[in-house]
Structure 1
Amino acid sequence: MDNISVWSLVLICLLACCLIMAAAWVWSYKIKNASVVDMFWSFNFPVIAIILFFFAPGWETRLIMIAAMVTIAGGRLGTHLGKRILSHLDEEEGRYQELRRSWAPNSERAFFFFFQAQALSNVLLAIPFFAIAMNTEVGVSPFEWIGLSIWFISVIGEATADRQLARFKKDPANKGKVCDTGLWYYSRHPNYFFQWTMWMAYFIFALGSPYGWIGFISPAIILHLILNVTGIPATEEQSLRSKGDAFREYQRTTSAFVPWFKK
């Protein structure tokens, strides 16, 4: 399908993500737990990458590279979130409980549109993938090698942070305590930091393709969400409610986002 347009690919991906999120909403409605949206949001990126691999006209090696990168990263994060969510499926996570209360009595209808908005965000954030997938030039550019290198470091960093936090929470002796070991000793949110650098890696990778510079939208949106919306603010509010003074002390002595070396 070498003659397929980028807009046709966008529409196909949007339709796929919307259908997946509609099915996810039906499930969340039945179990009264909207937390499941997080893992489906993560899994939608591999769905987009696979669609582009099969239908986009780009150079095959480049398509394999970006499809592998997105599938590995999105699949890992989705699986990690899925394990956490499925372990307490009968208990909706705090931020979604707050949304349910604020949207009452029409919370389920509001959640349907919320899930669809997440599908739209999947496609918007995938802008670098579309630019990369349309590039028919043969050969890997320096931007692509740099992007791949940063992506590799980011995946390892995010996976390490997630594993350290999961191990800390699994120990009953740590109940009510703040995780301040490993990467969490240097940053309160190393997982968010490496998630953002991963999107920077996709953007840098896209710079090797025509119109790839438009991909800056993705790390910019991710950074805004992390710093101002659903990332750090919501997470720290919950931690302050559950851990109180212990978390306030942790806030005082650590960086909120970028890891730094403490003495």
Structure 2
Amino acid sequence: MTYRIGGNLAGSSRPAGFAVVTLAYLAAGLAAWAVTAAVDGHGLLVTFYADLAATLVVFAASMLVANASLYDPYWSVAPAIIVIAWVALSPPLTGRQIAVLVLVLAWSIRLTANWALSWRGLSHEDWRYVQLREQRPAGVPWWLINLGGIQLMPTLVVFAGLLAVWPATTVTGRPWGLLDIIAVAVTAGAILLESTADRQLHRFADDPANRGAIIDRGLWRHSRHPNYLGEITFWWGMWLFGLAAAPNWWWTVIGPVTMVLLFTFVSVPMMDRRSLIRRPAYAEHMRRVPALFPRPPGFRG
């Protein structure tokens, strides 16, 4: 069951919508803090419990206002808060910690701002969530799909990505080295790639002359989803930082691998199916342009 607060008033106003998001995330932060204060154990495990508690609060708020998109900024907001907490609790401050913190904050601020610019308020819900609600199997309650598929699953995926960030921010015994420099280059390049792709997409979509057209210029000429490629690469960069700090934490590679699987088998197919429905010519575009990784120069597919 879902409930709406404020009727059309909240849904039609961006400021009201952002006020609801802010209150929900403050409540989520308080819940996470309460868990960390009440639970003893390994810091990584306590963080996991706090992350789940915060997700449940956001889920409850999304059900209260009947808008699953309330969760959308969680993907970029929660990691930044978690990394800040880990760095603050792991003195002394090292070059690796500073690099990770700066890059995560740059990624978080950019991605959250990108969401905020496109979100129109509580009347605006991501088309994928609307589709999931409308096409869910008979007898399956919406709250279960919202909780499991839209909110808990991404929280678990992002936490898997953060596993490597734990040693990168808490293990301070290994000095800065070549692998750290590579990690900085990969992560910064990923943020630049994602930012450039989003900027090119917004510029293309804002031009009335491109209405109904398929973007095939700039980065989008070489990849159908360069923004997703940037997101995947960001998490590989985080893993390199963790590897530089503690090589025995190599197993945290499950984080970036999970990201690859998520975008390859969930996000890309969903976006491609929608584009095919809206633009039949997209089938030819799919034949010419690879989903994520650009083809080598001179390659003919």
What TM-score bracket applies, with the shorter chain setting the length? Answer: 0.7 to 0.9
Asked whether the equivalents of residues 157 and 259 of structure 2 are also in contact (C-alpha less than 8 Å), the reply is no
TM-score with structure 1 setting the length: 0.87
Partner of 1:31: 65
Cα distance, 1:109–1:165 mapped onto 2, change above 3 Å: same
2:175 is matched with which residue: 133, 139, 147? 139
Cα distance, 1:88–1:184 mapped onto 2, change above 3 Å = farther
State how far apart, in whole Å, the 2-side matches of 1:213 and 1:59 are: 23
Q: Distance in 1 between matches of 2:105 and 2:127?
A: 28
| One-letter amino acid of the counterpart of residue 9, structure 1 | G
Code of the aligned partner of 1:38:
D
Match of 2:276 in 1: 240
Q: Relative to structure 1, is the Cα distance of residues 137 and 53 closer, same or farther in structure 2, using a 3 angstrom cutoff?
A: same
Check whether the contact 2:96–2:241 (CA below 8 A) recurs between aligned residues: no
SS of 1:207's equivalent? helix
Are 1:225 and 2:262 matched, yes or no? yes
Change (3 A) 1:256 1:138: closer
2:90 is aligned with 1:95: no
* Aligned counterpart in structure 1 of residue 154 of structure 2, from 105, 118, 122: 118
Q: Does 1:157 align with 2:193?
A: yes
Query: 1:59 Cα shift?
Result: 5.0
SS in 1 for 2:275: helix
Alpha-carbon shift at residue 7 of structure 1 (Å): 5.7
2:239 aligns with one of 203, 214, 230: 203
Any conservation in 2 of the 1:186–1:261 contact (CA below 8 Å)?
no
User: Which shifted more, 113-122 or 194-203?
Assistant: 113-122
Q: 1:17 to 1:172 in 2, by over 3 A?
A: farther
Compute the displacement of 1:235 (Å).
0.7
Report the Cα offset of residue 110 of structure 1: 3.5
| Alpha-carbon distance in structure 2 between the residues aligned to 1:224 and 1:8 | 28
Cross-structure match for 1:255:
290
- CA positional deviation for 1:36: 3.1
Q: What residue is the counterpart of 1:3 in the other structure?
A: none
**2-structure distance, mates of 1:15, 1:40:** 16
One-letter code aligned to 2:225? H
Shift of 1:164: 0.5
- Contact residue 157 and residue 258 of structure 2 kept, 8 A: no
What is the aligned-residue identity percentage? 26
- List alignment gaps of at least 5 residues for structure 1: 1-5
Give the counterpart letter for 1:35 in structure 2.
Answer: S
> CA–CA distance in 2 between the matches of 1:43 and 1:137?
29
Separation of aligned partners in 1, 2:213 and 2:297: 20
Matching of residue 166 in structure 1 with residue 202 in structure 2: yes
Identify which range, 31-40 or 189-198, moves more after superposition. Answer: 31-40
- Shift, 1:23, TM fit: 3.2
Q: What's the Cα RMSD here?
A: 2.3
Aligned to 2:16: none
2:28 corresponds in structure 1 to none
Q: Any idea what the Cα deviations from partners look like across 1:219-240, whole Å, max 9, x if unmatched?
A: 11111111112x2111101111
Structure 1 moving runs of 4+ over 6 Å: none
Please say if residues 34 and 96 of structure 1, whose CA atoms lie closer than 8 Å, have aligned partners that are also in contact: yes
Aligned with 1:188: secondary structure?
coil
Cα drift, residue 192 of structure 1: 1.1
CA distance in 1, matches of 2:222, 2:160: 32
Q: TM-score, normalised by structure 2?
A: 0.77
Q: Which has the larger radius of gyration?
A: 2
Q: 1:92, 1:68 → 2: CA distance? A: 31
- CA 195–117 in structure 1, closer or farther in 2 if over 3 Å, else same: closer
Q: Distance in 2 between matches of 1:16 and 1:174?
A: 45
2:84 is matched with which residue: 32, 47, 50? 50
Q: How many pairs does the alignment contain?
A: 255
